[in-house]
């Protein structure tokens, strides 16, 4: 990377450079080309949290925390006012859900991730409807009142649309080998 960037007249800023090790390495930094580079377990790249495990749990937790902050910011100005429910839901769908669902097309949806995402979505919808957490109102009732689908259903729809675009794309593109590998079956024993 250093050689390629130097050919273009660019220099690497070693104080901003971080390294994520796939195996446990002792210490908080490693030498790279005579410079000490910090070792990190997790870092944010293009808005997504990447960790050593390679899963999406840290990214989902980060997205939920970002959304939780965004839900609290206009709390007294929007969610707790007498603005009509359709307007509140439209604001939720336009400003809150895109933050939560950024990069969701690539998440591996485990049972824990589904539960966490659906629980957060329910919490937001109950907050919009001004339903206290002590009220015994089912999630199904909340969805009927808001006419919102579950957030995991939205993720599944987006994943299927993305797969459809990839499937219909020109086979000469870079994605073709990955798609071919995913459709090939392993030999049976």
Model confidence pLDDT, tens digit, residues 142-164: 989 999 999 999 999 888 888 88
Q: Is the four-CA dihedral 180, 182, 183, 185 of positive or negative sign?
A: positive
**Amino acid 182: pLDDT:** 57
Neighbours of 103 (CB within 10 A): 14
The residue length of the chain stands at 189
- Pick from 155, 123, 159, 156: nearest CA to 142: 123
Asked if 113 and 56 count as a contact pair (C-beta separation under 8 A), the reply is yes
Render the chain in DSSP notation, one character per residue: -HHHHHHTT----TTT-EE--SS--SSSEEEETTEEEEE-SEEEETTEEEETT--SHHHHHHHHHHHHHHHHTTIIIIITS---HHHHHHHIIIIIHHHHHTTGGG----HHHHHHHHHHHHHHHHHHHT--TTS---HHHHHHHHTPPPHHHHHHHHHHHHHHHHHHS-TTSTTHHHHHHHHSPPPP-
30 vs 19: CA distance, rounded Å: 8
Determine phi and psi for 110, rounding to 5 degrees.
-85, 170
pLDDT at position 90 over 90: yes
**Amino acid 189: pLDDT:** 42
73 vs 124: CA distance, rounded Å: 13
Q: Considering only 62-71, 163-172, 174-183, which range has the smallest mean pLDDT?
A: 174-183
pTM for the model stands at 0.72
Which of the pair, 186 or 121, is modelled with greater confidence? 121
**Amino acid 183: pLDDT:** 58
pLDDT, mean over the chain = 82
| Sequence-ordered list of residues with C-beta below 8 angstroms from that of 136, at least 6 positions apart, any chain | none
């Amino acid at each position: 990377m250093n050689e390629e960037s130097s050919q273009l007249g660019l220099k690497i800023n070693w104080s901003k450079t971080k390294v994520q090790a796939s195996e446990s390495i002792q210490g908080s930094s490693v030498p790279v080309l005579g410079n000490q580079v910090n070792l990190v377990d997790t870092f944010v790249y293009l808005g997504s949290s990447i960790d050593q495990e390679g899963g999406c749990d840290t990214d989902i937790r980060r997205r939920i925390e970002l959304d939780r902050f965004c839900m609290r910011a206009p709390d007294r100005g929007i969610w707790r006012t007498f603005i009509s429910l359709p307007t509140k839901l439209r604001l939720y769908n336009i400003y809150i859900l895109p933050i939560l669902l950024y990069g969701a097309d690539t998440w591996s949806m485990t049972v824990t991730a589904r539960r966490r995402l659906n629980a957060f979505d329910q919490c937001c919808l109950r907050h919009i409807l001004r339903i206290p957490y002590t009220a015994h109102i089912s999630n199904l009732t909340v969805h009927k009142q808001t006419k919102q689908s579950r957030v995991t259903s939205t993720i599944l729809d987006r994943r299927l649309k993305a797969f459809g675009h990839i499937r219909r794309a020109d086979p000469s593109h870079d994605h073709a080998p990955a798609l071919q590998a995913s459709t090939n079956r392993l030999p049976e024993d």
